[in-house]
Chain A
Amino acid sequence: MREKAIYILGLLGTLLIVGNLYHIFLGMPGEAMQGQIGKMIFVHVPAAIAGFTFYGVAVIGSIGFLLTKDFKYDSLAVSSVEVAQVFALINLVTGSMWGHIIWGIWWTWDLRLTSQFMCFMLYLGYLLMRPAVAEATQRATMSAILAIFAAADIPLVIMAIRLHNVRTQHPAPVLETGGLAPSWWPPFLIAIVAFWLIGTALVLVRLRQETVRREIDSIRRELHAI
């Protein structure tokens, strides 16, 4: 059942992306001010939204583990963090390329960019910390606390371009201020849905691996006891 869901979600997401790419590259003119590079919005912003969604799932999984001590929640958390990291990295890389063309610089340490980079690094720390803790319950508990702590950075990323007293290189929220042309909304929304679908398929694959890994641990314990 899960295998089927993985294939369906992955295939559906890929088809949506391929159709969307065809439309973006061949069926749409460039953005009025920025030209073709403005189309980076169809990968840069959906990647950020998908990343934050899966960080959110990781926080829910982490809270679930702390409340129940059920390792399924820990598996959900670590799977979601890995997938969220993929999207966050896409967001950072595409943002840097976009910035290089529009601002003339690859990177600047302003609040928006720095807080997003911090978010990525905090969750990278989460992933690097896990193999260093041998005992499963301790590892899951520490991971859960770190995942929740790191999530405190997410509101900062979101608010960085909305606070009046903060100067940032990054533009004000385009989506909320009517900066996106009506004809740009459908491919934009399709890109978000496609990233969610592909991300969910990847989380399901990782969840299966975590389940097998727990099975490996229990067999090792059994072997040790014999």
Chain B
Amino acid sequence: MNLDFLYYGYAAAWIIVLGFIFLLVKRGQKIDHEIARLKSQLEDKEK
């Protein structure tokens, strides 16, 4: 049990970090998509 909980603790730490990285990637994709959309919209309006 002693060793099990050590594994759980380290696993939890990795899951939290990887979860945050996953959220960062998703948010980054959303932002990149949004800026591409707005830029094309701006170009269209300027034409």
Q: Mark A residues whose CB is within 8 Å of B.
A: 21, 30, 34-37, 39-40, 43-44, 47, 82-83, 86, 89-90, 93-94, 97-98, 100-101, 198, 202, 205-206, 208-209, 212-213, 215-216, 219-220, 222-223, 226
Is chain B's interface secondary structure helix, strand, loop, or mixed overall?
helix
Given contacts A205-B24, A212-B32, 6 further A-B contacts (CB under 8 A): A90-B16, A93-B13, A206-B24, A215-B35, A223-B41, A226-B46
B38 touches A220 (CB 8 A): yes
Q: How far is the CA of A44 from the CA of B9 in the complex (A)?
A: 9
**What's the count of A-B pairs with C-beta under 8 Å?**
83
Contact mask for chain B residues 3-35; partner A; CB cutoff 8 A; 1 contact, 0 none: 101101110110011001100100110011011
Once bound together, how far apart are the Cα atoms of A210 and B26, in whole Å?
A: 14
Inter-chain contact B35/A219, CB cutoff 8 Å: yes
Q: Could you list some 19 contacts between A and B, CB below 8 A? A: A36-B3, A37-B2, A40-B5, A40-B6, A44-B9, A83-B20, A86-B16, A86-B20, A89-B16, A90-B13, A90-B17, A93-B12, A94-B10, A97-B5, A97-B8, A101-B1, A209-B27, A219-B35, A219-B39
**Which residue of B is nearest A89, CB measured?**
B16
B12 and A90 within 8 A (CB)? yes
Residues in A whose Cβ lies below 8 Å from that of B35: 212, 215-216, 219
Per DSSP, are chain A's interface residues mostly helix, strand or loop, or mixed?
helix
